[in-house]
């Protein structure tokens, strides 16, 4: 099913229409997708240095650019996907569309926003600082496992939610905890050595780390970082497949 071009087209059409619907009646329209990252970088650049004594070796704005949009994409996708099947219940009961298109469309919608935010932020950073890392051009390659992992977990969460309606709240709570357990607003260098080992158990950190290396550190991710990122994607696919196989058959009766 995943290789069917009509399946992919359906995911695109639903995501595109959802995005268009979101901005259709606003004056700026899709322009808001540009305004938001510009404002964020401005805040990072002006306010953060004031409220935080930044260690001199850390370019904190670039660090946030390398982590914040990606974190927002991952968590936003997972949160949005949890309710997709519940929201589309009436359509699902009456049409023959493959039900996995709904969580994947939610992920794609978030991915569009991420791509625009990330590109604008990196461009703004380059313009403001007069420098950039050429390694950032390799980010699309490392986004592939991230997209696969997020898509797989999004499918798993979407198909679990009809059976356990508390899943959206659980994800929301887990996200607020994970935000502080993942180096999103603080660099790994500020984590004590004895605690760093625990971060290797955080799958979101493992997914984000290669992109942070490319964008912020300006170096290629190590082999072990790349392998860890791929391993997270592989485990996510196994989880997504297993949950879909287990819950995908009768979920319609629980919507």
The site for other proteins (CB under 8 A) is made up of 6, 9-10, 13-14, 17, 20-21, 24-25, 88, 90-98, 101, 164-165, 249-250, 252-254
Least CB distance to other proteins at residue 19 (A): 11
If the CB atoms of residues 58 and 87 are measured against other proteins, the closer one turns out to be: 87
Of 58, 176, 69, 167, residue with least CA distance to 115: 69
Least CB distance to other proteins at residue 63 (A): 38
Least CB distance to other proteins at residue 84 (A): 12
- Residue 160's region, left for phi above 0, alpha for psi from -120 to 50, else beta, is alpha
| Residue with the two structure tokens 């995005």 | 19
If the CB atoms of residues 97 and 138 are measured against other proteins, the closer one turns out to be: 97
If the CB atoms of residues 97 and 220 are measured against other proteins, the closer one turns out to be: 97
Structure letter (DSSP) for residue 221 = P
Helix, strand, coil percent content, the chain, rounded in steps of 5: 80, 0, 20
If the CB atoms of residues 6 and 198 are measured against other proteins, the closer one turns out to be: 6
- Separation of first and last alpha carbons in the chain: 23
Least CB distance to other proteins at residue 43 (A): 30
Could you tell me the two tokens for 25? Answer: 């009646």
Least CB distance to other proteins at residue 9 (A): 5
Structure letter (DSSP) for residue 249 = T
If the CB atoms of residues 56 and 94 are measured against other proteins, the closer one turns out to be: 94
Q: How far apart are CA 112 and CA 7, in angstroms?
A: 18
Could you tell me the two tokens for 170? Answer: 């659980």
**Cβ contacts of residue 79 below 8 Å, gap of 6+?**
168, 171, 172, 175
If the CB atoms of residues 13 and 128 are measured against other proteins, the closer one turns out to be: 13
Least CB distance to other proteins at residue 143 (A): 25
Burial of 21 (0-12, 13-18, 19+ CB in 10 A): exposed
**Cβ contacts of residue 172 below 8 Å, gap of 6+?**
79
If the CB atoms of residues 91 and 176 are measured against other proteins, the closer one turns out to be: 91
Of 108, 107, 122, 225, residue with least CA distance to 156: 107
Least CB distance to other proteins at residue 147 (A): 21
């Amino acid at each position: 099913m995943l290789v069917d071009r009509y399946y992919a087209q359906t995911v695109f059409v639903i995501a595109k229409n959802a995005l268009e619907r979101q901005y259709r009646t606003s004056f700026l329209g899709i322009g808001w997708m540009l305004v938001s990252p510009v404002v964020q970088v401005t805040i990072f650049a002006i306010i953060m240095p004031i409220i935080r004594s930044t260690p001199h070796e850390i370019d904190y704005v670039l660090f946030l650019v390398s982590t914040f949009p990606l974190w927002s994409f991952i968590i936003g996708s997972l949160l949005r996907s949890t309710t997709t099947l519940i929201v589309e219940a009436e359509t699902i009961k009456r049409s023959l569309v493959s039900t996995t298109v709904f969580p994947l469309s939610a992920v794609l919608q978030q991915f569009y926003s991420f791509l625009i935010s990330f590109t604008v932020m990196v461009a703004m950073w380059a313009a403001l600082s007069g420098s950039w890392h050429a390694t950032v051009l390799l980010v699309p390659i490392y986004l592939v496992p991230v997209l696969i992992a997020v898509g797989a977990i999004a499918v798993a969460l979407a198909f679990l939610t009809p059976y356990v309606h508390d899943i959206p709240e659980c994800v929301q709570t887990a996200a607020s905890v994970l935000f502080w357990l993942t180096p999103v607003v603080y660099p790994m260098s500020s984590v004590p050595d004895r605690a760093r080992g625990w971060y290797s158990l955080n799958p979101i950190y493992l997914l984000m780390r290669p992109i942070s290396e490319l964008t912020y550190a300006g170096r290629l991710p190590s082999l072990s970082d790349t392998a860890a990122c791929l391993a997270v994607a592989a485990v996510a696919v196994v989880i997504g497949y297993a949950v879909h196989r287990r819950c995908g058959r009768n979920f319609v009766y629980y919507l």
